[in-house]
Structure 1
Amino acid sequence: MRNPPLPERPEGAVGSLDRGLRLLQLLRDYGNLRVMDAAAHLGISRSSAHRLLQTLVFRGYAVQDDNHTYLPGPSLDAGPARLAWTKDFRALCQPHLQVLARRSGESANMMVRVGKSVRFLGTVRARSIDATNDRDGIVMPAHRASGGKALLAELPEGEVRALYFGGAVDGAHVLDETEFAKLTGDLEAVRRRGFAVNFEETESGVAAVGAAIHDRMGEAIGALSLSTRTERFAALADKTLVPLLLDARAQIEKDLQHVTLGT
């Protein structure tokens, strides 16, 4: 069997999309990239290269270090979730996210866990200039995100340990024994309180509360979170954010009693 020829560049190719994809390849192959190098590789201006790279940062495909060098982001090596029901799950949760964002005045998010990461399937931003950023499509380490902690807390401690110490090494998710002990303490607190907290663990200046969402069989299939600015968190968490979060979770779980996802 002969190998097929490599495809030609299509006549209707979208130039900006092609350049963005080429930057992804460069990050994948070289491991780091500066604006001037990206501009030279693509034959475009530095300002155009900067805009493209910043778009990749926004979507989690790149991160920028203190030297203004771009590195591969968590979304770049995230494989497909391979969860056939996520589209239905997102559709069911979306109206509840809208209500939650409106009632709380903060940004509402929903996510699923895939291994040691969480995938944000939806965000409804608050209607405020201080609203936290859109997380739709972003990949984050589960042990840092509030929704990720809520989902990890559903597992027995032995399964959590096997998850972090029994598989392949992957940079953003490597924990030493001290970090794992902290995570264990965080998960115990989640089980005791019924919700998880993330205070600047995934983003400077941002805090969040999260809770696991259960299907009609009682299995945790996703999580809900509310994110806010850290300066507002202490005043809002117990009196506003947590009660609204748990109420929205209850409404979603009520809806899940009547549907079978993925069918």
Structure 2
Amino acid sequence: MRNLRTHPPLPERPSIAVESLDRGLRLLQLLRDYGALRVADAAQQLGVSRSSAHRLLQTLVFRGFAVQNEAHVYLPGPSMDAGPARLEWTRDFRRLCQPHLEVLSRRSRESANLMIRVGTNVRFLVTVRARTVEATHDRDGVVMPAHEASGGKALLAELTDDQIREIYTAGPAATLTEAAMAKLLGDATRARAHGYAVNVEETERGVAAVGTAVHDRWGTPVGAVTLSTRADRFAERLPSTLLPLLLDSRAQIERDLADVDLT
């Protein structure tokens, strides 16, 4: 006989369920189980119009839970299998960095971001979006591959080449090709030499970013600060504006971190 104490009945759908949220969660389950979805399939499964299904799927793309390939098929995104970071200090880290990001965004007129690395991914803790019509999108809460994001490259560059190879040789990370690994090691070498890393349309078409690692009072890298902008003006603005402001912001944050024990 089934033990009801250790195996309670499955919960019924609550009468106060939020329909849009429930549909979004159902889409996550479909992506998890099927591995790929077209808009028509999603609409049929959810019993909604194609336009409604499209809006829901695009919201999942925005939050990194889905990606869309060239055939307009939706696939699981990097946020889908990202477990909890389990880093309790990140809340304090974000609170400390927030004012600096606001100043950085205002001075540069670009979007400023704060991220941490968890394994082979980076997680955006906060975005301060530029107050311009051309500002890049909000990335708050988004998960991206570390070897493609500017801040992720800067954080990986804090490791040795052997350590980088080690974390990319097990599990899903082992799918990194030899060419991708060679590029990553080259990017890491340049980041070590210059103190920053760049990403030109590697994570988003038409967007470029520059990032630098932030260190705690003991010199340990704890996160990265980045500036993201339109790719067509990146090269012109990088040496004269973006990079000086970014490095100054890092210095200000590390000065504050010198008085804080994040652990």
For each residue in 1:24-53, what CA deviation from the matched residue of structure 2 results, as whole angstroms up to 9, or x when unmatched? 000000011111111111111111111111
- The residue aligned with 1:70 is 74
Q: TM-score, normalised by structure 1?
A: 0.96
Over residues 133-185 of structure 1, what are the superposed CA-to-partner deviations in whole Å (9 max), with x where a residue is unaligned?
Answer: 111111111011000000001011111110112x1134xx7222232122111
- Equivalent position amino acid for 2:37 in 1: L
Alignment gaps of 5+ in structure 1 = none
Question: Mapping of 1:182-221 within 5 angstroms?
Answer: 182-221=183-222
Residue 142 of structure 1 aligns to which amino acid in structure 2? A
Question: What are the Cα deviations for residues 88-128 of structure 1, in whole angstroms up to 9, with x where unaligned?
Answer: 11111111111100000101001000000000111011111
* 1:4 corresponds to which of 8, 12, 18: 8
* Structure 2 unaligned blocks of 5 or more: none
Q: 1:93 aligns with which of 83, 94, 97?
A: 97
User: Are 1:84 and 2:85 matched, yes or no?
Assistant: no
Equivalent position of 2:56 in the other structure: 52
- The corresponding residue for 2:254 is 253
TM-score scaled to structure 2, two decimals? 0.96
The AA in structure 2 aligned to 1:225 is T
- The percentage of aligned residue pairs carrying the same residue is 68
Paired position in structure 1 for 2:28: 24
1:169 aligned counterpart, secondary structure: helix
| CA distance in structure 1 between the aligned counterparts of 2:186 and 2:54, rounded to whole angstroms | 41
Question: Aligned partners of 1:16, 1:177: CA distance in 2, in Å?
Answer: 42
Query: Equivalents in 1 of 2:237, 2:98: separation in Å?
Result: 23
Please give the alpha-carbon distance, in whole angstroms, between the structure 2 residues aligned to 1:103 and 1:94. 14
Structure 2 Cα separation of the partners of residues 53 and 210 of structure 1 = 29
For 1:179 and 1:5, the matched residues in 2 are separated by 48
SS in 2 for 1:260: coil
Number of equivalences: 259
Aligned equivalents of 1:78, 1:223: Cα separation in 2 = 19
Q: Tell me which of 26, 44, 66 is aligned to 1:40.
A: 44
2:109 to 105, 108, 116: 105
* CA–CA separation in structure 1 for the residues paired with 2:48 and 2:217: 53
Q: Is residue 232 from structure 1 mapped to residue 233 from structure 2 by the alignment?
A: yes
Q: Secondary structure at the match of 1:47?
A: helix
Q: State whether structure 2 residue 139 is matched by structure 1 residue 138.
A: no
What residue in structure 2 maps to residue 114 of structure 1? 118
RMSD over aligned CA atoms reads 1.1
- Which whole-Å CA distance do the structure 2 matches of 1:59 and 1:182 have between them? 27
| Segments of 4+ moved more than 6 angstroms | none
Q: After the TM superposition, which residues 141-160 of structure 1 pair with which residues of structure 2 at under 5 Å, given as runs?
A: 141-160=145-164
Counterparts of 1:225 and 1:66, CA distance in 2: 28
Taking the aligned partners of 1:14 and 1:234, their CA distance within structure 2 comes to: 46
Deviation per CA, 1:183-217: give whole Å up to 9, x if none.
11111110110111111111111111100000001
Shift of 1:82: 1.0
Deviates more, 1:79-88 or 1:216-225: 79-88
Deviations 1:67-105 (A, max 9, x none): 221111111111111111111111111111111000001
Aligned to 2:172: 169
CA distance in 2, matches of 1:12, 1:169: 38
